[in-house]
Chains A and B, each alone.
Chain A
Amino acid sequence: AQSVAQPEDQVNVAEGNPLTVKCTYSVSGNPYLFWYVQYPNRGLQFLLKYITGDNLVKGSYGFEAEFNKSQTSFHLKKPSALVSDSALYFCAVRDGTDSWGKFQFGAGTQVVVTP
């Protein structure tokens, strides 16, 4: 069985400061890892994904994420947060050994960026 944990319900950060949203996962095989963002009353928007290769993945809107196999983590980061980054962020995992395995989402982390 696969699972995703986002240990923080909410992350508060001041504008201009670094932003980190944490995600840990558990899968049987190699993980396919994804980050999505959801603005109020909107659908989820894809930010970035890790499939294989370089552990540091760069995505949309200045976000990046680092895959750490030993810690089974895939934390989302942004060097300098903007007020417009305030949104709900979801981490997701799929087991790479099962092409039709579930696309499992975490519970989400609310990011609040204050001016």
Chain B
Amino acid sequence: DSGVTQTPKHLITATGQRVTLRCSPRSGDLSVYWYQQSLDQGLQFLIQYYNGEERAKGNILERFSAQQFPDLHSELNLSSLELGDSALYFCASSTTGGSNTIYFGEGSWLTVV
């Protein structure tokens, strides 16, 4: 158990809908990362936050947004969902950046039908 908690574990929704994925980082970690893993794209970095502020942005679609709240939990919002958004979404956390190891949650499986 990495200490990173993600909910929900599984989610099935229809095209065009909006979903919110939630992440609680490890105790003491200030930085949160979001990744998308799909069969054809591999592990793609989406976005990173540190203590509530966005620190780095990757291949995140405009339909997707995220934020980190004062209690350090984070949410990833996915809207206008398409079939191609079906993937495993991971949250990870670390104390800060630099050489610190990032620890992954178990992921949220999103299926868009």
Contact = CB atoms under 8 A, between A and B. Distances in A.
Given A34-B101, A94-B98, 12 more contacts: A43-B4, A44-B92, A45-B2, A96-B98, A99-B96, A99-B98, A100-B50, A100-B56, A102-B48, A105-B35, A105-B42, A105-B43
Contacts of B18: none
15 contacts: A42-B107, A43-B2, A43-B4, A43-B90, A43-B107, A44-B43, A44-B90, A51-B99, A90-B43, A96-B99, A100-B97, A102-B45, A102-B56, A103-B48, A105-B35
Interface in B28-55: 33, 35, 42-43, 45, 48, 50, 55
A43 B55 CA distance: 23
B58 interface: yes
Contacts of B55: 100
**What 8 pairs across the A-B complex have the smallest Cβ distances?**
A43-B104, A99-B97, A44-B104, A99-B98, A51-B99, A100-B55, A43-B106, A105-B43
Contact of B45 (A42, A90, A105, A108): A105
**Interface bin, chain B:** 20 to 34
A22 interface: no
Contact of A43 (B45, B56, B98, B105): B105
Nearest to B33: A103
B90 to A, nearest CB: 6
Interface string A77-115: 000000000000010001010011111110110000000
Given A32-B98, A90-B43, A101 B56 contact: yes
